């Protein structure tokens, strides 16, 4: 069944940080549903390769170089999309980096570069695209948060600050742009297998901790983020704005403790 309520066919969708990982997975999901997707990243070669790999027809997925740490790069990119397609229906702010170390050890430059890309870059992208959306009187913006949106993990302070800030930015923009028909939400993934995290989960202790903290047990793949992103871009979420949706295999639903863990199969009763 092709339900128009959930359709993104024909939408103009701009995705920051789509050369690999979650952004690429989301881009693929929109392209498969007949949206016109524009994928962006810092490096011309890698973003062109990604666009070519996702699309069998070069018109379907368009590559565009855009470094979100540079305001001018963002404004130029958004202007070129606006000129070519005349509108932007959905923005997905995915671009992000991380550097893990104790809070006490971050240099000023390290702190700034994480905030610049993950928070300031997302805002400048939202602002540039927001201008088009306000003018056209509709649009959906989806910001990619994290488990750190809600609660901070140790040893990644600037990342956690940026993700919490991004969530509040989503709410602030949702309130300000609601009257103009522009919706802004956060999709917060749990643990996803990508270049950003593959070293972490290759470590046995970390992987055991991840499994223990993921009720659904398995690690997410980028394509696990597609359904919720498409939903947030479609008319099915027309009255949903300023919210955060955790796509995390249950990680934020509660906490698991040792009580009764030996009796996990149905029909068995916890012994303790
Ligand atoms: P990834 O595989 O490292 O991909 C990061 C993407 O961001 C790449 O496409 C990269 O493109 C782009 N990027 C980095 N800096 C950029 C800049 N200055 N301008 C434009 N693009 C830039 O990471 P990922 O795991 O897919 O993460 C994507 C997003 O999801 C991030 O915001 C991350 O915080 C969030 N997230 C990830 C996880 C996870 O478990 N993986 C969990 C929660 C949230 P280029 O390097 O080609 O420019």
The CA 135 to ligand 1 mean position distance, Å, reads: 29
pLDDT average, residue stretch 61-86 = 98
Domains with residue ranges and CATH for the chain: 4-247 (3.40.50.720)
DSSP string, 58-75: TTTEEEEE--TT-HHHHH
Distance CA 53, CA 90 (A): 22
Taking only the tens place, the pLDDT of each residue in 6-57 is 999 999 999 999 999 999 999 999 999 999 999 999 999 999 999 999 986 6
The CA 249 to ligand 1 mean position distance, Å, reads: 20
Where in the sequence numbering do the catalytic residues fall?
A: 159
Taking only the tens place, the pLDDT of each residue in 178-223 is 999 999 999 999 999 999 999 999 999 999 999 999 999 999 999 9
Q: Alpha helices of 56-197 — where are they, by DSSP H?
A: 71-85, 108-115, 121-136, 157-177
The CA 208 to ligand 1 mean position distance, Å, reads: 24
Highest mean pLDDT among 55-64, 121-130, 250-259: 121-130
Where are the extended beta strands (E) located within the chain? 12-16, 36-41, 61-65, 90-93, 139-144, 182-189, 244-247
The predicted structure's pLDDT at residue 63? 97
The predicted structure's pLDDT at residue 264? 56
Taking only the tens place, the pLDDT of each residue in 216-244 is 999 999 999 999 999 999 999 999 999 99
Contacts of 143 (CB under 8 A, 6+ apart): 93, 122, 126, 166, 167, 169, 170, 184, 185, 186, 187
The predicted structure's pLDDT at residue 227? 98
pLDDT average, residue stretch 94-123 = 98
User: Is residue 217 classed exposed, middle or buried when 0-12, 13-18 and 19+ CB atoms within 10 A define those classes?
Assistant: exposed
| Residue whose CA is at the smallest distance from ligand 1 atom 10 | 17
- Decide: 196 in ligand 1 pocket, CB within 6 A: yes
Half-sphere exposure of 141 (CA within 13 A, CB side): 32
The token pair at 77 is 């990119």
The CA 16 to ligand 1 mean position distance, Å, reads: 9
Confidence of residue 256 (pLDDT cuts 50, 70, 90): confident
Which among 14, 19, 22 is the best mutation to test ligand 1's pocket, defined by most ligand atoms within 8 Å of the CB? 22
Distance CA 13, CA 8 (A): 9
Verdict on whether the full-model pTM lies above 0.85: yes
Which among 25, 27, 196, 206 is the best mutation to test ligand 1's pocket, defined by most ligand atoms within 8 Å of the CB? 196
Task: Say whether pLDDT at 73 is over 90.
Answer: yes
Backbone angles phi, psi at 96, to 5 degrees: -165, 155
């Amino acid at each position: 069944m092709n339900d128009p309520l959930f359709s993104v066919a024909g939408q103009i969708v701009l995705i920051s940080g789509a050369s690999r990982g979650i952004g690429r997975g989301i881009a693929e999901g929109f392209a498969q549903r007949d949206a016109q997707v524009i994928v962006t990243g810092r490096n011309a070669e890698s973003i062109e390769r990604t666009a070519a790999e996702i699309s069998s027809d070069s018109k379907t997925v368009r590559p565009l170089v855009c470094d979100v740490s540079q305001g001018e790069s963002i404004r130029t990119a958004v202007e070129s999309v606006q000129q070519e397609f005349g509108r932007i229906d959905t923005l997905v702010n995915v671009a992000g980096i991380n550097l893990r170390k104790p809070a006490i050890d971050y240099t000023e430059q390290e702190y700034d570069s994480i905030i610049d890309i993950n928070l300031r870059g997302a805002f400048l992208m939202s602002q540039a695209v927001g201008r088009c959306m306000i003018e056209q009187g509709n649009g959906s913006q989806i910001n990619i948060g994290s488990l750190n949106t809600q609660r901070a993990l140790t040893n990644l302070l600037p990342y956690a600050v940026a993700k919490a800030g991004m969530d509040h930015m989503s709410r602030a923009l949702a309130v300000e742009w609601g009257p103009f028909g522009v919706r802004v939400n956060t999709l917060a993934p749990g643990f996803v297998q990508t270049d950003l995290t593959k070293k972490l989960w290759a470590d046995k202790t970390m992987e055991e901790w991840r499994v223990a903290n993921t009720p659904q047990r398995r690690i997410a793949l980028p394509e696990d983020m597609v359904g919720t992103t498409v939903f947030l871009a479609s008319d099915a979420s027309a009255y949903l704005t300023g919210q955060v949706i955790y796509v995390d295999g249950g990680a934020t639903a509660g906490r698991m403790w040792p009580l009764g863990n030996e009796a996990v199969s149905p029909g068995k009763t916890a012994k303790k």
